[in-house]
Each structure stands twice: as C-alpha cells, then as structure tokens.
Amino acid sequence: MTDRYTTGMATRRRVLGDAHVDRAEAARTDLDAPFQTLITEAAWGHVWSRDTISPRERSMLTIALLAALGQDEEMAMHIRATANTGATAQDVMESLLHVAIYAGVPRANHAIRIAKQVFAEIQPAP
C-alpha cells in the first residue's frame, strides 16, 4: 500500500470510527477493491488529511454537499461521524441552512429530517 493509503486509512478510522471501517473492509470484494483504494487514498488520504481546515469544518462542508446532492445514506454516515470531528448539531443545522438557500428548501428539509433521526440515535434524550 502507498503512504497516501496508509494516511487515508488512519484518517478514515479517526473520522468514521473503527467499527464502520471494519464493516466496510469486511464487505470489500475483488470487484470494488479498486474503488475502495481510490476513496481511501483520494478522499481520506488527500482531502480529509489536509490540515488547512479543521475536521469540524470539513465535516460541515461534507454534510452540506451531500445534503445538496441528495446523498442521504452518505450524509447520515457523516452526521454520525460528527461525534469524532467536533461538529455539533448546531453546526450541522448551520450547514443545512446554507443548503436551503443555495440548493433548495426541499433538499434541506429532507436533510434536516435525516439529521434529526441520526442525532436521536446517537444522542438519545435523557
């Protein structure tokens, strides 16, 4: 494996958590192995590993982009990852307010519903 892959895997584990990455790695097949290597090197080893902005800011950007694109499953995964990135529920809401203005109210409304469900799962009410 390349240095970028090793760095990417460490960043991926730090952001998404060992359990998530272990499940993804267990599901890896010969068919999707090149794709898994690509995202580990490019997304995690290059973009997410940069130190120009914080993991919190990167998390907020990612959630807004995924919400704007209607990528619900990926967005929910990144909302779960806020436990590791330092982004708060308020940060997510701020990101989704931007989605409402720049990508449309229906996209933001749908994303907010998903965010509420995910936060209820990871931060149950007392």
| pLDDT tens digits, 70-90 | 999 999 999 999 999 999 999
Regarding whether 64 and 124 lie in a shared domain, the answer is yes
Q: Does residue 58 sit in the same domain as residue 48?
A: no
Cβ partners under 8 Å of residue 39, min gap 6:
none
pTM reported for the whole predicted model: 0.92
Judged against a pLDDT cut of 60, whether residue 64 lies above it is answered with yes
Tell whether 36 and 72 lie within a shared domain.
no
Note down the domain range covering 102.
54-126
Instruction: Please give the single-letter amino acid code of residue 8.
Output: G
Confidence band, pLDDT 50/70/90 cuts, at residue 124: low
The pLDDT-based confidence of 126 (bands split at 50, 70, 90) is low
Q: Quick check: 82 and 121 in contact, CB under 8 A?
A: no
